[in-house]
């Protein structure tokens, strides 16, 4: 019935060429779908928009079949039929989500003719207000984990937005999407990993950047770092911008040219042997931005990461090369971040709610990685358990023919890149062992991005969205695995290929232009 109305409208459009595309974007198109849906869909609006091409934007919410308590907001954008490429792309979130995010990915996708989907992941987060959505009050007045919002945030919202989004695409074009993709970074990277692990048939292709496979361990390392910063500040030894810049310059002078090119890009920070002691104010030729002994200890500690007194590593440390500058300001970003218990102003407040449902708990002073009971309690909280994306067995995804591009900036100071290599290698060995063959890299490839910060920024090439999207599409549709991904740095005017791990980019010949990606090829580094 509804579809017949659409056909009628289409016919009218053909008869009246001056009719706008807007005539074909009405909520009524989707009403029957919403009524028949088992997921409890409420439509909130449809609007014809013309910015990145012309598209129909539909918004609504999903209550979810299971318990009907979810409030997962979704936004679907449907390009004009003549521009639709037959595909559907869902983009992920960042941070604690709570709004429609990933607009730069959406814009790139609309330019390529994709229908797109976004979700707020089932709760609203407003900067500066408490993350109360992680808790709920029981009938007896005690605070409990809010399992509905936590499930939605962790994995269910992306899944249901994808399932429902495909139906909206089908309803609008009277044709299901030929291929469906996912693209996200940071929290969005975790959502992409989780999709591979838990919903192996949702997507034909996944692009997952800076994924956080253990959100709680990342958060624990950030809390620990907050405590180190607090201690440094208490001693009035706070690192200045000038000192951070001098650390970065010292790192570069020691490590930049190790890869053969002095270009302010460190190809593989694991090859960087840097001792901050050379910046000591005690040295004979100490510079104005030298470091005190307390500051030197702090810098070493940040590289080392959280390790307990008994020698147990809680999480990997920071990579050298991202100390200063970049789009997110290097270490300044976390040196300026606070960890107070004031509602809505810091990570400590959020984690006290997420891990312990106790906003009154002073994590800065009361939590310690050297207290095994506390660490175990945080690790086993509902929040931590449900938000993990650490199952390396993605065999079902691989067996269903899925393709995935993972990536991580080698100068990411927000989310240290080491765990991404760790989970990638664990996935490779697990899947290869189970399948009894060595074709994992025909399905999943990791691209480490030299000099790039957290999902963006940094001195290295960090403009990659369009080429990553093109690469995953080519892999899925044509079966051509990406041997490199072209990335560029707009301000520096340089381009460079990202190489599939463990390969690195090297000049094909020493006299070629090192600003041009064409001069490079991907090679396996010598042992």
Residues forming contacts to Ca ion in the complex (CB under 5 A) are 256, 259, 261, 263, 265
Nearer to Ca ion by Cβ, of 14 and 510: the residue is: 510
- Residue 362, number of CB atoms within 10 A of its CB: 14
**Smallest gap from residue 251 Cβ to Ca ion (A):** 11
Give the C-alpha separation, 333 to 311, whole Å.
Answer: 28
- Rounded to an integer, what distance in angstroms lies between the CA atom of residue 71 and that of residue 24? 27
Select 24 or 256, whichever has its Cβ closest to Ca ion.
256
Q: Supply φ then ψ for residue 115, to 5 degrees.
A: -80, 145
Q: Of 264 and 435, which has the nearer Cβ to Ca ion? A: 264
Residue 491 CA to residue 445 CA, distance in Å, equals: 28
At closest approach, how far in Å is the CB of 498 from Ca ion? 15
Taking the C-alpha atoms of residue 445 and residue 443, their distance in angstroms, rounded to an integer, is: 7
Angle of CA points 87, 165, 204, to nearest 5°: 45
The least distance separating Ca ion from the CB of residue 448, rounded to whole angstroms, comes to 14
Query: Cβ of residue 489: shortest distance to Ca ion, in angstroms?
Result: 13
Q: Which is nearer to Ca ion, 323 or 349 (CB)?
A: 323
What is the smallest separation between the CB atom of 491 and Ca ion, expressed in angstroms? Answer: 18
CA distance 90 to 85: 15
Q: Least distance to Ca ion from the beta carbon of 450, Å?
A: 8
166 close to 176: Cβ distance less than 8 angstroms: yes
Name the minimum Å distance from CB 269 to Ca ion: 11
- 145 vs 269, beta carbon nearer Ca ion: 269
- Of 89, 37, 27, 45, residue with least CA distance to 63: 37
- The CA-atom distances, in angstroms, between 210 and each of 235, 411, 422 are 34, 11, 12
Asked if 300 and 317 count as a contact pair (C-beta separation under 8 A), the reply is no
Distance CA 253, CA 504 (A): 20
In whole angstroms, give the CA distance from residue 429 to residue 427: 6
CB of 328 to Ca ion, least distance (A): 21
Of 256 and 473, the one with the shorter C-beta distance to Ca ion is 256
Identify the helix (H) or strand (E) that includes residue 375: helix 372-379
The DSSP result for 31-49, as a single string, is HHHHHH-TT-EEEEEEEEE
Q: 265 vs 444, which CB is nearer to Ca ion?
A: 265
Burial class (CB in 10 A: 0-12, 13-18, 19+), 35: exposed
**Residue 216 or residue 462: which is nearer to Ca ion going by CB?**
462
Q: Which is nearer to Ca ion, 136 or 506 (CB)?
A: 506
- The residue (of 182 and 274) whose beta carbon lies closer to Ca ion is 274
Min dist CB 40 to Ca ion, Å, is: 54
CA pair distance 393, 190, nearest whole angstrom: 15
Q: What's the min distance (Å) between Cβ of 262 and Ca ion?
A: 6
Q: Are the C-beta atoms of 58 and 49 separated by less than 8 Å?
A: no
Residue with token string 């500040």: 233
C-alpha distances out from residue 425 to 205, 243, 312, 433, 454, Å = 19, 36, 21, 12, 21
Of 307 and 522, which has the nearer Cβ to Ca ion? 522
Least CB distance from residue 268 to Ca ion, whole Å? 10
């Amino acid at each position: 019935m509804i579809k017949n109305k659409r056909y009628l409208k289409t016919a009218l459009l053909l008869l009246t060429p001056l009719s706008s595309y807007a005539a074909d974007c009405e909520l009524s198109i989707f009403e029957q779908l919403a009524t028949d849906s088992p997921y409890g869909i409420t439509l909130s609006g449809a609007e014809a928009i013309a910015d990145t091409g012309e598209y129909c934007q539909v918004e609504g919410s999903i209550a979810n079949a299971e318990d009907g308590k979810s409030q997962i907001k979704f936004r679907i954008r449907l390009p004009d039929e003549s521009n639709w490429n037959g595909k559907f792309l869902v983009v992920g979130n960042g941070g604690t989500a709570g709004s429609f995010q990933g607009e730069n990915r959406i814009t790139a996708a609309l330019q390529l003719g994709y229908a797109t989907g976004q979700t707020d992941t089932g709760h609203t987060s407003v900067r500066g207000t408490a993350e109360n959505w992680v808790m709920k009050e029981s009938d007896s007045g005690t605070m409990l984990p809010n399992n509905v919002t936590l499930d939605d945030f962790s994995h269910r919202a992306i899944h249901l937005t994808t399932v429902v989004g495909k139906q909206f695409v089908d309803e609008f074009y009277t044709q299901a999407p030929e291929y469906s993709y996912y693209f996200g970074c940071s929290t969005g990277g975790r959502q992409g990993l989780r999709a591979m692990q838990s919903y192996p048939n949702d997507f034909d292709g996944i692009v997952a950047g800076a994924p956080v496979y253990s959100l709680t361990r990342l958060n624990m390392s950030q809390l620990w770092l907050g405590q180190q910063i607090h201690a440094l500040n208490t001693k009035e030894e706070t690192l200045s911008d000038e000192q951070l810049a001098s650390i970065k310059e010292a790192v570069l002078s020691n490590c930049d040219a190790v890869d053969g090119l002095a270009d302010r890009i460190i190809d593989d920070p694991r090859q960087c042997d840097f001792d901050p002691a050379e910046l000591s104010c005690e040295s004979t030729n100490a510079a104005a931005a030298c470091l005190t002994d307390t500051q030197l200890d702090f810098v070493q500690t940040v590289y080392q990461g959280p390790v307990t007194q008994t020698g147990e590593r809680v999480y990997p440390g920071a990579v050298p090369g991202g100390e200063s500058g970049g789009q997110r300001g290097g270490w300044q970003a976390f040196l300026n971040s606070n960890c107070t218990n004031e509602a809505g102003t810091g990570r400590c407040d959020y984690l006290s709610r997420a891990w312990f449902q106790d906003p009154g708990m002073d994590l800065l002073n009361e939590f310690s990685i050297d207290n095994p009971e506390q660490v175990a309690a945080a690790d086993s909280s509902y929040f931590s358990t449900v938000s993990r994306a650490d199952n390396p067995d993605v065999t079902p995804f691989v067996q269903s023919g899925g393709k995935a591009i993972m990536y991580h900036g080698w100068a990411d100071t927000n989310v240290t890149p080491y765990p991404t290599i760790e989970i990638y290698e664990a996935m490779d060995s697990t899947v290869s062992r189970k399948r009894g063959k060595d074709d994992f890299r025909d399905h999943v490839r990791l691209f480490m991005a030299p000099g790039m910060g957290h999902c963006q920024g940094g001195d290295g090439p960090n403009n990659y969205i369009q080429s990553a999207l093109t690469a995953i599409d080519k892999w899925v549709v044509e079966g051509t695995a990406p041997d490199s991904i072209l990335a560029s740095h707009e301000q520096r005017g340089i381009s460079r290929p990202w190489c599939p791990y463990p390969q690195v980019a090297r000049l094909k010949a020493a006299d070629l232009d090192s600003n041009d990606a064409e001069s490079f090829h991907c090679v396996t580094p010598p042992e």
